[in-house]
Copies of this chain bind each other. A is one copy, B any other.
């Protein structure tokens, strides 16, 4: 059986705001082989990703991503790994390629799972999917007062863990940040698991981060996420020695196995956060989960968008019993919720589960998405290379 088609659907809210909310648009991927269909999602800028899927070849190691996927045999899950390797070799010099591959890899796993009537985590090699404790992933309020209200709301909704990130954090005074941290703690309650996300705003400035460590300890934060950009290993390492209580978390910017490996090996992190929609899909995410496990670092998904992406992000560590924390988007835009007709809801114990249904276990809501579909046309030398496909 061969891969017959790859369709990229650019979806967007009518208005995209200048805020750190990645659920305002989406790039949905459909792959077809024989009678089977798989769905995936790139956590990526849609237009450059579409361009990288279909662009003219520049040279033998700078080919469009579709050149390594279309017409490829897909008879076994080994073919998914083989296709990933092909993309990485043939699109070595196309920087966007890893983000583009990510959604395709997801769709291939979904397709194979449906064909073999198995959930993806089983095809990845796990016997059992353990429940995860979802943390409510939210933006900081513009003021500490707003953050307090958000924390209380998360608690009222039954979340035992919450992460606050982006918004004004890290950009004001040390006291401003301390007030925000304490407001988050107060809102969430004494026994809640509090996670703090700086969104890389300190870039590689260890001093800026160090000044906030006491306030983070006072607020009893479990982790400090992305104080720096993904590659700033030295800065991470230096900061990691400054608190035995607050562990560092990072890795969402990793777009291949090696970047995540280096975070684990050299950055002193306690938690590695992987977005299956960026790192090259579930194939690579599972490889990172195995490596993290061997190195004593806890794996966590990075997911701020749809429940299709959420299912895909949980599968690679579904079988790790002790890596229990999971990011769970609680304030996505309607687009992200509308991508699937079913959703991954916390059970009565407040835990979430990787779907037991075949593939990713999610049903894409093709009729409901029509209104979000962005019309795109790309012409090169007068030839139409891309046009928004139909569902």
Contact = CB atoms under 8 A, between A and B. Distances in A.
Interface of A: 12, 16-22, 24-25, 43-52, 54-62, 85, 88-89, 92-96, 98-99, 166, 199-201, 203, 229-234, 253, 255-259, 261-262, 266, 278, 374-382
B377 A95 contact: no
A51 B47 contact: yes
A262 B231 CA distance: 8
A376 B379 CA distance: 6
Contact of A231 (B166, B200, B258, B374): B258
Contacts of A62: 22, 45
Contacts of A92: 200, 229, 253
Contacts of A375: 379-382
Contacts of A378: 47, 51, 376-379
Nearest to A230: B258
A205 to B, nearest CB: 12
Nearest to A379: B377
Q: Name which of A95, A261, A377 has the most chain B CB atoms within 10 A of its CB.
A: A95
Given A45-B55, A93-B253, 4 more contacts: A44-B95, A47-B52, A52-B96, A376-B380
Nearest to A383: B375
B93 A95 contact: no
Instruction: Enumerate the 5 nearest inter-chain pairs by beta-carbon distance, A residue then B residue, closest first.
Output: A231-B258, A47-B55, A51-B51, A48-B52, A96-B96
Nearest to A54: B47
A18 B21 CA distance: 40
Residue among A60, A92, A98 with the most chain B CB within 10 A? A60
Given A51-B48, A382-B375, A24 B96 contact: no
Contacts of A88: 229
Nearest to A256: B231
